[in-house]
Amino acid sequence: MTEPTSDATPIAGDPSRYRYARAERLDVAHPPDQVVELRLRSITGVHEGPIPQHSLDEIEGFWLHLSRPADFTALAGLRRLRWLAVEAPTDIDVAGLSTALAAATSLRNLHIEAPIADLTSLSALGGLSELWLGHTRVTDLTPLAGLTGLRDLVVEDGPLTDLTPLAGLRLNRLYVYRTQVTDLSPLAGMELLEVLGLNGCPVSDLSVTAELPGLRHVNLRRTGVVDLGDLPARLPSVTFEGLADGEPPLLDEDGGLPSATDPLARFRETEDFTDRWQLLPALIATRDREAIQDVVGFEGRPGLTLQGLFLQGGVGDVPFPANPWGVPPDAGLAQALTHLWQPIAALAPRFVATLRVRTLGLALLTDDAGTATLGYLTWGRDADAQAPREQRLRQATREPITLDALVGHGGDVHVRVVFGTAPRLVDPAATVPLLGGPVPAPIREFWAVHHSFGSHFGGIVGALRCNTLGYFDGDGWEQVAERLGGHPPDRFVHGVGSDHYESFLLDLDLLDAAGYPTIARWAFKEWTIGDHKPFWDWLDGDGTRLALL
């Protein structure tokens, strides 16, 4: 096959003039680490060669989303950086990060969300006034004792217990949410401390608050504190928020699995969309083939018929007939997922881990022509939809919900069917005119599992149909370029992913270290494009969010 899709539109512009058409391409699973450099090139618009110092000097701050350990050397030229946020699911090189930031004398705000344990090297960043440490393994704050300019400190979600090293700091705000802090006495005498966040901490003794003359607000949510004694009377200017405010139980005391018929009968009786949406968890929880067939139809695929089914625990399984993926008839859910995704598990570990945790069942579906599709029955929490991107990814595999406990979680949990189409194999040497080169190797490897993968909410798109100039067929070059922040519209190919507010496009001129197009985020309502990443890094971040969260 020489085209990625059979329905590609005529080629607009001249894609062959971009770097991908003439690049040397490496046959490697993961290109050499270049994520930090790509982020800077995406911001500055400098695609090859050294990035001029004047371009680096214009950068004041940005988010850096990582899916694997990264080389921070490229940050060394950011002399005027004022803030930086780094988010990663794995440990990062804090020493390398601190060394690279040494020249950023204006750096005031550093945000790290990663399972780091050692803060020693942060002691060199003496200009910091705000430090946010989330989801770390930090137990020793001693390296922060010398950061005398620090005013706001956040240490969230970790094993921290000891606040003693903070005693000499002049903090205005301190948040130790969801840590193991119990002893607040090291804070005594902090004259400037105005806000103290203790959400989720096992504290009981709050007497130190009477020794904080500047204190105005204390967050006690989910601490278990129920009695403040005479503190409110002694400290009338302090607001104690969340007293005895606990999270509601996840399971209803009298909740149980519904019968196999009641939810389905109610689902078929009502025509109200919301009522039917709220019944989907109950339908899947029945493990009933007919009920799950109705879920598939409700999710926008009424023409697909269920032929095989694997569910958590094996109860209700229907053997798979022969299928394009070679999944064995009696594989069961766990073995089937391993069979399908093992080829890319090391390339996109967060994506595959999230898929495993979120999948309650796997359905083999066919249309009238016999074309096969896999339907992944997945769960999600309604509150996650409103959470920031980083939080949604970070929490994706936490507190998993099982099929047997699905209904007991009440209205906070929803289910959706993520559809994975049959594999599509392409000639790795064939030039695709739309790209000016072959289908990139990472995309070919994903297509070998599913050509497309998503739901009506969004997902990973299989068809590389057109570039942006062809996407706005009939509009002139200048009009379309304006929607891309001034970039040439034949440079970006649609697309590898999308949802209601953004699309992710192949950039034919900004390549990864292996010579393949990077993935750029196009916020089409804002007319901006950027945040370039290699495909596997994108899949472990925004790709995971689009398809599964």
| Contact between 492 and 529 (Cβ < 8 Å) | yes
pLDDT for residue 66: 87
Cα separation, 333 vs 361, in Å, equals 7
pLDDT band, residue 10 (cuts 50/70/90): low
Helix (H) or strand (E) holding 510: strand 503-511
Cα separation, 494 vs 487, in Å, equals 15
Q: Which of 29-33, 351-355, 464-468 is predicted with the least confidence, judged by mean pLDDT?
A: 29-33
pLDDT for residue 480: 86
pLDDT for residue 166: 97
Quick one: average pLDDT of 467-494? Answer: 88
pLDDT for residue 242: 86
Residue 204 above 60 pLDDT?
yes
pLDDT for residue 248: 37
pLDDT for residue 244: 62
pLDDT band, residue 7 (cuts 50/70/90): very low
Q: Which residue has the higher pLDDT, 543 or 387?
A: 543
pLDDT for residue 181: 95
Residue spans per domain, the chain: 1-31+461-549, 33-116, 143-247, 262-421
pLDDT for residue 463: 83
What is the bridge-based pairing of β-strands 453-455 and 413-421?
antiparallel
pLDDT for residue 419: 97
Tell me how far apart the 2 most distant CA atoms of the chain are, in Å: 78
Residue 250 above 90 pLDDT?
no
Count Cβ atoms within 10 A of the Cβ of residue 298 and give its class: 0-12 exposed, 13-18 middle, 19 or more buried: middle
pLDDT band, residue 474 (cuts 50/70/90): confident
Quick one: average pLDDT of 284-298? Answer: 94
User: How many Å is the Cα radius of gyration of the chain?
Assistant: 26
pLDDT for residue 249: 31
The CATH code of domain 143-247 reads 3.80.10.10
Residue 4 DSSP code: S
Q: Which residues pair with 61 in a beta bridge?
A: 83
Q: Tens of pLDDT along 106-145?
A: 999 999 999 999 999 999 999 999 999 999 999 999 999 9
Residue type (1 letter), 238: V
Quick one: average pLDDT of 362-383? Answer: 94
Quick one: average pLDDT of 149-159? Answer: 95
Cα separation, 512 vs 505, in Å, equals 14
Cα separation, 449 vs 373, in Å, equals 11
What is the bridge-based pairing of β-strands 517-523 and 503-511?
antiparallel
Cis before residue 300, ω within 30 degrees of 0? no
Sign of CA dihedral 465, 471, 477, 478: negative
Quick one: average pLDDT of 318-342? Answer: 96
pLDDT for residue 247: 44
Quick one: average pLDDT of 44-62? Answer: 92
How far, rounded to the nearest angstrom, does the alpha carbon of residue 332 sit from its chain's CA centroid? 28
Quick one: average pLDDT of 277-301? Answer: 92
DSSP string, 442-501: HHHHHHTT-S-EEETTEEE-----EEHHHHTTTS-HHHHHHHTTT--GGGEEEEEEE-SS
Helix, strand, coil percentages, rounded to 5, for the chain:
30, 20, 50
Cα separation, 113 vs 92, in Å, equals 10
Q: Which of 125-139, 251-265, 320-334 is predicted with the least confidence, judged by mean pLDDT?
A: 251-265
pLDDT band, residue 351 (cuts 50/70/90): very high
Q: Tens of pLDDT along 399-433?
A: 888 999 888 766 688 899 999 999 999 999 999 99
Quick one: average pLDDT of 168-197? Answer: 95
For residue 466, what are its two tokens? 């057109």
- Please provide the distance, in angstroms rounded to a whole number, between the alpha carbons at the two ends of the chain: 33
Cα separation, 348 vs 78, in Å, equals 30
Percent of the chain with pLDDT over 90: 67
Q: Tens of pLDDT along 488-539?
A: 999 999 989 988 788 999 999 999 989 999 999 998 778 888 889 999 999 9
How much is the mean pLDDT over the chain? 89
Q: Tens of pLDDT along 67-101?
A: 888 999 999 999 999 999 999 888 999 999 999 99
Beta strands in 269-319 (DSSP E): 305-311
Residue 286 above 50 pLDDT?
yes
